[in-house]
Amino acid sequence: MTILVDFYKCLHCGGCVGSCPKNAIYLNDFVLEFSDKCNSCGRCVKICPVAALRME
Ordered by where they begin, the domains of the chain are 3-55 (3.30.70.20)
- Which residues contact residue 18 at a Cβ distance below 8 angstroms, ignoring those fewer than 6 apart? none
pLDDT in tens, 43-52: 999 999 999 9
pLDDT in tens, 9-42: 999 999 999 999 999 999 988 889 999 999 999 9
- Which residues contact residue 38 at a Cβ distance below 8 angstroms, ignoring those fewer than 6 apart? 3, 20, 22, 24, 25
- For 12, 36, 43, 44, the CA distances from 29, given in Å and listed in that order, are 10, 19, 22, 19
Give the integer Cα–Cα distance in Å for 32 and 23.
12
